[in-house]
Amino acid sequence: MGMRKLKIAVCDDEEYELKQIGRMLSRAAEAFGCAATVFSYRDSRSILNEIENGSVRFDLLCLDLYIDEKIGFDIAAAVRRKGYPCAIIFITAFADRMAESFRYVTSAYLIKPVNEAKMKEAFGTALSHLNAAPSFLLRRKEDERSIPFRQIIYLESRLKQIYLYCQGEREPIVFPEKLAEISRVFPKEYFHFCHKSYLVNFRYVQKIDKVRHEAILTDGSRLPVSRSCYAQILKDFMQFHSVAREEQAP
């Protein structure tokens, strides 16, 4: 099995700190058997643009607390609003905002100067969080909820609302969002569009009905498969089950 590849973003307005933190993270990743690609940012605008555009999906963010007109918490909030399950490490000279940092599901809060041992420990904690069941973070005015991806059966877009159906729950979770936008945070190896209004988890698809153009779920319910999606979803479904059989083989 090859090394696990991680995309790590480091944001600090000090050039020396930026390079030093990047090097320490690369060495920590290697110590844990991972290959790290480190993206460095000296201002908040650049990294926020990456996050908002979804051009790079980071596994780990390592953020200085005070950067420019924005602070590390602003970047962490942007990531969590998107529902990205990446790990977050804050590095700062100020200890007084540690408690506040954990509202962003933080892996570590390090006080400068940071040495190799502290960084390695923080990286190990972050890695354990990444290895935990990945989840979709749903933030609403009334509450915040982390939903494991493996429990999500499918999402339906209807009347500018998302209806999210979960295993073991009778009623869907309803919230305002665009399906095309929110789909970017869902693991592409499991979640596929069978229709522009439906994103389905292949774990729960039993078969594709080639006559009726429907996806038959494990509970017997059916979802429409549009003509524009049919060829691709059939190909992806066959590949998904081929990989699943290989993983289950002794």
Calculate what percentage of the chain has a pLDDT beyond 90: 61
Could you give phi then psi for residue 172, rounded to 5 degrees?
Answer: -75, 160
The amino acid at residue 77 is A
Instruction: Quote the distance between the C-alpha of residue 52 and its chain's center.
Output: 13
> Are the CB atoms for 150 and 162 separated by under 8 Å?
no
Question: 14 and 111 in one domain?
Answer: yes
- In this predicted model, what pLDDT tens digit does every residue of 121-177 receive, in sequence order? 999 999 988 876 577 878 777 667 778 888 899 999 999 999 999 987 889 999 999
Residue 170 lies in a domain: yes
Reference 51, options 35, 66, 63; nearest CA is 63
Q: Regarding predicted confidence, which is higher, 241 or 186?
A: 186
Query: Among the residues of 9-157, which ranges form H helices?
Result: 15-31, 44-53, 72-82, 98-101, 116-131
Total number of domains constituting the chain: 2
Residue 138 lies in a domain: no
- In a domain? residue 150: yes
109 and 153 together in one domain: no
Residue 86's pLDDT is: 85
> Both 112 and 189 in a single domain?
no
Q: Tell me the pLDDT tens digit for each residue of 7-30.
A: 999 999 999 999 999 999 999 999
Structural domain ending residue among the three candidates 101, 131, 161:
131
Main-chain phi, psi angles of 212, to 5 degrees: -90, -5
Pair 29, 97 in one domain: yes
The CATH number covering residue 186 comes to 2.40.50.1020
121/22 same-domain check: yes
- Domain enclosing residue 166, as ranges: 145-248
